[in-house]
Amino acid sequence: MTHHLTGLYPDWWEGRTFEEPVNAWTAGDTAKTVRDIMQLLLMGPPGVPDEQGTGLIPGELIKGTTPKHGLSNAFESVYVKHISGGTSILQFKSYDQGRQVFQGTSQQVIHLDEECPMEIYTECLLRTLTVKGIIYVTATPLQGLTDLMLAFMPEFMPEPEDNLNKVN
């Protein structure tokens, strides 16, 4: 996520690159887990002003933040300087907010941490469609072979039953 937000890619990077600032989301189960996991990883310890910018996003590239209402020390948005001179915008979202908060805007990068409901994943696909964006999911399939996991592992998809050829 940091590379896409800043445009600073390592020499060995062979994946997708963005030459212009991106609109991005990172999301998880709840706003609290997003703050305690994703925000911590990207920004540094929540609520410790001197340590903002000690995460994966370099402090000197953080242009500003917007606080999240209703959860202390959480951010709604982070504004990150892109190498092109523009500003990338990262928004923190959570699945417990429902599919509706994932509607409306195009996103170049979406990171879904842990398994989300299929309707949220589908909504995120729509948000990346018009801008040829990317989605990455980091999850342990603790819930088993759900529809989302099967979308990534079609070889485990059960064979459809052929009710027309069954003899009762």
- In which order are the strands placed within the sheet that holds 109-113? 62-67, 75-81, 87-94, 23-28, 109-113, 134-138
**Residue in 114, 123, 159, 161 annotated catalytic:** 114
Q: How far apart are CA 94 and CA 107, in angstroms?
A: 16
Strand-pair category, 134-138 with 23-28: unpaired
CA distance 1 to 21: 12
Catalytic residue status for 114: yes
Query: Which residues participate in catalysis according to the annotation?
Result: 114
